[in-house]
Structure 1
Amino acid sequence: MIVTMTVTRNLVLGAVAAVAMIAGAARAQDPAPNDLLLATLWTQRSVEYKGNALSVYALARIRLDQALADPGWTAAPAEQKGDFATLPPAVVLDVDETVLDNSLYEVWLMKNNQTFSTRTWDAFCAAQLARAIPGAVEFTQYADSKGVKVFYITNRGVETEKDTRENMVKLGFP
């Protein structure tokens, strides 16, 4: 009888230990890492991002002044034909992540466990929530004040053009 109770007791203790180990291993899985998280946090919160953007636009202003002082200067000498020096000066900028910060869209994607789709992107554009990249408004206003034509290019769909223009005007872009 004593032998049987010892064996039974050991089996019960072994079963309890096995259940405890299995229960510990059966915890919820960590969510998959999201590449957008750190990139979006860096864009929205870091002083380095803001400093880099401001530095780039400050340098652009210096280079614009240098270009305007030299009537023969061109950004693309190999591509110029004819008397390009008589053409009015211009600055050409991409819209997304060059003058407009779309990180709020990335936040929405993460919060809703979504990936990019034209439908959600168009809705974001319609909401006109994009913010200006630091220094972009000031640079484009400066260029405009110097008589430089500012052109914006984008691969956004034509259905977002009106909202994009309105968003940019609200932010102060010429």
Structure 2
Amino acid sequence: MAATPPIHAEDAPSPHALDFTMETLGGDTVDLAEKYRGKVVLLVNVASKCGYTPQYAGLQELHERYADKGLAIVGVPCNQFGGQEPGTADQIAAFCSANYGAEFDMLAKVDVNGEDQCPLYAYLTNESPYPGKINWNFEKFLVSRDGEVIGRYKSAVEPTSVELVSAIEGALGGGGQ
């Protein structure tokens, strides 16, 4: 029986969008692939003092409407755009809960661009099918049940827009109504 040749880095499959370990807003370590296995995931870099901050309401609406159908909304706080997320983890959690009733998952604050860019966003902005730096708060990446990035939506695309809802419903496997 012939030996299997070694896999070289250039031959290895590219990582899935969820093959990363991150910290939650509460300080716990989470393996994204394990936590979100089989789910459709919407990753959103969020901020509390941004003109797009009211999108938290739409994100919560999506969570309420589709969580039981397999959608996971994941907020990723970032303070790189105009210093619009200056708060501590506790302050961010309190703000989201008090102002928007946000019940979806939140990760710890990270850099989504630059020298200290977290590995998840390095993948999303460099290796996914939708490369390019993050331009502002509330950019959204849609990840399929198998961990592949299937869409990227600019900040101005509302969470409940026909464009995004249609993509989510398609990824969930149908109308999702």
Q: TM-score, normalised by structure 2?
A: 0.22
Indicate the structure (1 or 2) with the bigger Cα radius of gyration: 1
Structure having the higher helix fraction is 1
Q: TM-score, normalised by structure 1?
A: 0.22
